[in-house]
Amino acid sequence: MKFLDQVKVYIRSGDGGRGCIAFHREKCIAYGGPDGGDGGRGGDVVVTTVDAMNTLIDFRYKQHFRAEGGFAGMGANRSGRKGRDAVLSVPIGTQVFDESRTVMLADLTRLGQSVVLARGGDGGFGNAHYKTATERAPRYAGHGWPGEERWLWLRLKLLADIGLIGLPNAGKSTFLATVTRARPKVAAYPFTTLYPHLGVTHVDGDRFVIADIPGLIQEAHKGAGLGIRFLGHVERCSVLLHLVDGTGDVEKTYRIARRELESYGQGLDKKIEIIALNKIDSLNLRFMNEQHVALAKAAGVARETVRLVSGASGYGVEVVLQALRKAVLLSHTAAAAQTMEEGRSLWAP
C-alpha cells in the first residue's frame, strides 16, 4: 500500500426535499383541506476515523463525495425521507483544512470521532404548513434549501509514540525493521525512505508505535529535500529517537538535525529526545569512544545518556528500547496530569 498524507476532496451535502401540495380527498368529507407533507432534509457529509488505516490512499481514486438529497413530501401529511449521509472514512490523526489550507476545520485524534463537514439543506414545508384561519386552502409549498459544497484538504499526521529522526542513511529503517515487523526499504544509499513507515514494538508488555520519518537535510524547514513534507508527522510523537551515523561527522550531523527541528517550530525541539550513536558495528573501539564523546559534547549531555546501538547486529537495541519505554510512559503521565489540571481550571461551581 502506498503512503499518501494529503489530498484535496470535493464535498456536497444533499438538497432539501420539496414540500407537497395536496388536499384531503375522502368520501363524505367535503373540503378536507390541505394535507401536503414536508420535504425531507438533505444528507450530511461526515468525516469519521476508523481503525486499520494509516494512509489517505483511498482518496486518490475518489475525490468527489455527494450526499443524497431529501425526498419530496407526499399527501396525507407524509414527510419525505431524509437523504443518506456521505461518510469519509479517514485514519486517526487526520486534519481537515479549508481550500486555502489556512483554516483548520477539524482535528481527528480519537477512534470513532466524527465531524459534520457540510450540513444538508432543510426540506421545504408542505401546503398544510401554510394553512391559516384566513387562508384555508394554500396552493403553494416550500422549495427545499440547497446543500453546502466546498473543496477541502485532508492532511494526515501520524499518531505514534516514538519518532525516528536523523539525517539520510542514519540507519532509521534498519532499526525499525529490527525492533518491529515493519519492512521498510533498506539500502546503502541516502533517501531510501520516501514516505513514513509505522511499526509496533512490545517492551515489557507495553505496546508502542514507532514512526520512521524520511531523513532530514540542511534547510529542510524551508522545503529542501523531503523533510518539510514529513516533519508534521513528528509533531504527534511523544518521544524522539535521534539516530546519528557513527561513521560520519557526528557533531555536524547532530547539529544539522537539531537546527531543522528548531527552525520548523511546533515544539519539536522541546520533545523528549533519546540520542543514539548508530552503526557501531562498523567502528573500532578507539574511534567509537571518540565519536561517543564528540556526540555527547555536541548534544550537551553526559556521555552515559548517549546510547550505543547497532541496528544491523542488534547490539544495544534492548537498552534503547527500555530507555524509550521509560520516556514514553513519563510523557503519557505528564500529558494526563496536564489534562486533569486543565479540567480543574475550567471547572466552576
Q: Which three cell numbers stand for residue 47?
A: 468525516
Q: How far is CA 245 from CA 10, 35, 99, 177, 275, in A?
A: 44, 79, 41, 17, 11
Q: What is the pLDDT at residue 61?
A: 87
Q: What is the pLDDT at residue 220?
A: 46
Q: What is the pLDDT at residue 8?
A: 94
The model carries a pTM of: 0.71
Query: Measured between alpha carbons, how far is 323 from 330 in angstroms, rounded to an integer?
Result: 11
Each residue's pLDDT tens digit, 237-250: 888 899 898 888 88
Give CB contacts under 8 A, 24+ apart, made by 196-203: 196/3, 196/5, 196/158, 196/230, 196/233, 197/3, 197/173, 198/54, 198/158, 198/160, 201/321, 203/321, 203/322, 203/324, 203/325
Sign of the four-CA dihedral 111, 112, 113, 116: positive
Greater model confidence, 229 or 32 = 32
Can you list the positions of beta strands (E) in the chain? Answer: 6-12, 45-50, 64-66, 86-91, 94-97, 104-108, 114-118, 149-156, 162-165, 197-203, 206-212, 239-245, 272-278, 307-308
Give the total residue count for the chain: 349
Query: Measured between alpha carbons, how far is 303 from 137 in angstroms, rounded to an integer?
Result: 90
Lowest average pLDDT, out of 63-77, 162-176, 209-223, goes to 209-223
Rounded percentage of the chain residues whose pLDDT exceeds 90: 38
Question: What's the pLDDT band for 186 if we cut at 50, 70, 90?
Answer: low
CB 207 within 8 A of CB 199: no
Please give the domain boundaries of the chain with CATH numbers for all domains: 1-156 (2.70.210.12), 162-344 (3.40.50.300)
Rounded to the nearest 10 degrees, how much is the dihedral formed by the CA atoms of 53, 327, 236, 3?
-40
Among the listed residues 311, 309, 310, 307, the one whose alpha carbon sits nearest the alpha carbon of residue 299: 307
Residue for cell digits 518521544? 239
Each residue's pLDDT tens digit, 18-62: 999 999 988 888 888 999 999 999 999 999 999 878 788 889 889
Query: Measured between alpha carbons, how far is 320 from 315 in angstroms, rounded to an integer?
Result: 10
| Average pLDDT of the chain, as a whole number | 84
Average pLDDT, integer, range 72-96? 93
Lowest average pLDDT, out of 141-145, 149-153, 201-205, 215-219, goes to 215-219
222: left (phi over 0), alpha (psi -120 to 50) or beta: alpha
Greater model confidence, 311 or 190 = 311
Each residue's pLDDT tens digit, 237-285: 888 899 898 888 889 888 888 887 887 777 777 888 899 999 898 889 9
Question: What's the pLDDT band for 215 if we cut at 50, 70, 90?
Answer: low
Rg (CA), the chain: 29
**Highest mean pLDDT (candidates 66-70, 161-165, 304-308):** 66-70
